[in-house]
Structure 1
Amino acid sequence: MPPHGYRTAEVPLPGTAAVRIVLRLLIPDQAPPPGGFPVLYALDGNAAFQDIDAPVRARCAEGPGAVLVALGAEEPARFARLERTRDYTPPDAAGAPVLDPHGRPAGGAAAFEALLPDLVARAEALAPVNPARRFLWGHSYGGLFVLRHALGQGPSPFAGAIAASPALWWDHQRFLTTLKAQLESGARPRIPVQFHTGGAEKARATRSLKPEARAFMEMRDALPETALPELACAFRRAGASDGLTVFPGLSHGETFSRSIRESWRALALDEGGFPGP
């Protein structure tokens, strides 16, 4: 297959929010395969789009190609901290919004999830994709969103997903407890999930002396190191995961870049090992 490049497209969504959602796309500059290109939807899209940079694209230039849809924000920061906290995190057990350990509004995952059909339609009006090979990726809070979506009700627009370093400490592990209870009761995830983590996330966790960081660190540090492997095993027992990939030596932040690059490369080069069909 001759090498190919990628063209970009950007779609700011209409709205009155202070920071609007922006879709940033990478589209192979070649004819699509029968049925269309596979596509990866990435949360924290500003950072994800930065990480699928020119060298990464060049290394994938001889594969069949894949579309990237980075769900980002109309601001220059790598991470839209207020928006990701609000949009990716689950509510409390009663379904009510919560505050994160830093006091930021959180628990709005259901409202963001309701936007997905429109986001998918807008993105795929610009690129010929194969709906049967449509995948979702999220890291940390985005990983929580992936897990909540996987155990949701009704059909999913995605064929599978990747949860990288999900913040299972969230809300004093209450969301993790809910996930485990669902799986133990026989609930079957509606899409398969592949799990990623860094091998040094706990050893290299960031520390802060700021008083406002204390609650966050206490919640994070209380999470057992076995929590993610055990959850991955529970998904696997439910027939909905190929397991857990550990990136040796990587911290939580470093795992973001490694995971999105590995996930998109596997899709663009058709290397297999992707969750779902």
Structure 2
Amino acid sequence: MTQTGRDTGRVGPEHARAQAELRIFGEDLPTHILSQKVVDCGPGHRLFLAVPRGEAPQAGWPVIYLLDGNAAFDFLTPEHLALVPGLMLVGVGYDIDRQFARERRTLDFTAPDGPGDGIRPDPVHPGRMAGGAAQFLDRLTGPLRAAAEAGLPIDPTRRTLWGHSFGGLFTLYALLTQPDSFARFASISPSIWWDEPLIRRVAEQAGPMADAPPLLVALGNKEKRSGSSGPPPDGPAPATLKFVADLQEGTGLSPDLHVLPGLIHIQTIAGSLPLALPFAAA
């Protein structure tokens, strides 16, 4: 994979600089066939596909879209796939060698604010831009989805969106602004701390939601502080717990909330998969 853009990966927390080893592509998997493809749209995306072996059901396979696909497939194991032999997985990543494209995901996964396209300087990370979630959602449900599902029997009524951290924040944004974009949503350790008033305004604008889609929320009990500085995390993130409670009251959503014991922020990627994959396959 080639590196693109200004996201050099020289600073930031250790996991933000990690290379994507993608060891699962060297495994002999009895349940799925793995492949990758580059899609020339936006900043340049790489899709990681795990397609079930055997014949699809008459309606097609259910599919889960995993944001930060480079990292998601780095944490994916044969044991995870064995849980859901009839589920297709699509990792939506960037054409880079690392697990995370920090500058790109900050722009793509954060909600717009203000007039025009809503893109603005990131109020938390100097030098980054934010607010491109509307454009990314169009890209995700348009050319990226088309490229991922081309030639494959997919059940369009059984698509799930999964995101972790900023991806979890985007998953909430997608649910609140375009609830019909996916049938189910899995928000893992969402970065509610990043401009919390903004995501709360998005929730308020959504208002009561008729026929609200299923929502899975999971976070670790060792990530009280979700940012990258401060004392060691202790307990689940209180801002996330409060937001989920308020979301249920204000929108009519019924989040299925899980606090994962002993897990810090980065560990909830793998820790959530035994919950999220069967959730998507249901």
> Which of the five TM-score ranges fits, normalised by the shorter chain?
0.7 to 0.9
Give the one of 40, 46, 52 matched to 1:14: 40
Letter in 1 for 2:129: P
Per the TM alignment, residue 259 of structure 1 is displaced from its structure 2 partner at its CA by 1.4
Task: Check if 1:82 corresponds to 2:103.
Answer: yes
Letter in 2 for 1:262: L
Letter in 2 for 1:67: M
Task: Check if 1:201 corresponds to 2:223.
Answer: yes
Q: 2:185 corresponds to which residue?
A: 161
Per the TM alignment, residue 266 of structure 1 is displaced from its structure 2 partner at its CA by 4.5
Per the TM alignment, residue 181 of structure 1 is displaced from its structure 2 partner at its CA by 2.6
Q: 2:270 corresponds to which residue?
A: 257
1:254–1:159 CA distance, 2 compared to 1 (3 A): same
- For the residue of structure 2 that corresponds to 1:77, the secondary structure is coil
Task: Check if 1:176 corresponds to 2:189.
Answer: no
Task: Check if 1:31 corresponds to 2:55.
Answer: yes
- For the residue of structure 2 that corresponds to 1:90, the secondary structure is coil
Residues 11-52 of structure 1: CA distance to partner in whole angstroms, max 9, x if unpaired? 2112484xx101110001111122111110010000111122
Q: Give the conservation status (yes or no) of the 8 Å contact 2:219–2:258.
A: yes
Return the TM-score normalized by structure 1.
Answer: 0.78
- For the residue of structure 2 that corresponds to 1:166, the secondary structure is coil
Q: Give the conservation status (yes or no) of the 8 Å contact 2:161–2:186.
A: yes
Q: 1:138 corresponds to which residue?
A: 163
Aligned identity (percent) is: 34
Per the TM alignment, residue 189 of structure 1 is displaced from its structure 2 partner at its CA by 8.1
Tell me how many residue pairs correspond in the alignment: 248
Give the one of 251, 254, 257 matched to 1:244: 257
Q: Give the conservation status (yes or no) of the 8 Å contact 2:168–2:188.
A: yes
Structure 1 stretch displaced more, 200-209 or 104-113: 200-209
Q: Give the conservation status (yes or no) of the 8 Å contact 1:21–1:73.
A: yes
Residues 181-223 of structure 1: CA distance to partner in whole angstroms, max 9, x if unpaired? 336x4355863321111111116975379xxxxxxx9xx99xx
Structure 1 stretch displaced more, 124-133 or 156-165: 124-133
Residues 95-135 of structure 1: CA distance to partner in whole angstroms, max 9, x if unpaired? 52222322211111111111122211221114322111110
5+ unaligned residues in a row in structure 1: which ranges? 210-216, 273-277
Q: Give the conservation status (yes or no) of the 8 Å contact 1:39–1:135.
A: yes
- For the residue of structure 2 that corresponds to 1:114, the secondary structure is helix
1:144–1:242 CA distance, 2 compared to 1 (3 A): closer
Give the one of 119, 133, 149 matched to 1:97: 119
Letter in 1 for 2:153: P
Residues 126-166 of structure 1: CA distance to partner in whole angstroms, max 9, x if unpaired? 4322111110001111111111111115x623101011111
> What is the CA–CA distance in structure 2 between the aligned matches of 1:208 and 1:226, rounded to whole Å?
15
Q: 2:147 corresponds to which residue?
A: 122
> What is the CA–CA distance in structure 2 between the aligned matches of 1:108 and 1:85, rounded to whole Å?
8
Greater relative contact order structure (CA < 8 Å, 6+ sep): 1
Letter in 2 for 1:227: A
1:230–1:205 CA distance, 2 compared to 1 (3 A): closer
Q: Give the conservation status (yes or no) of the 8 Å contact 1:46–1:73.
A: yes
Give the one of 174, 186, 193 matched to 2:208: 186
1:16–1:255 CA distance, 2 compared to 1 (3 A): closer
Q: 2:241 corresponds to which residue?
A: 229
> What is the CA–CA distance in structure 2 between the aligned matches of 1:78 and 1:261, rounded to whole Å?
20
> What is the CA–CA distance in structure 1 between the aligned matches of 2:119 and 2:162, rounded to whole Å?
23
Letter in 1 for 2:106: T
- For the residue of structure 2 that corresponds to 1:135, the secondary structure is strand
Q: Which runs of 4+ in 1 moved over 6 A?
A: none
Task: Check if 1:44 corresponds to 2:65.
Answer: no
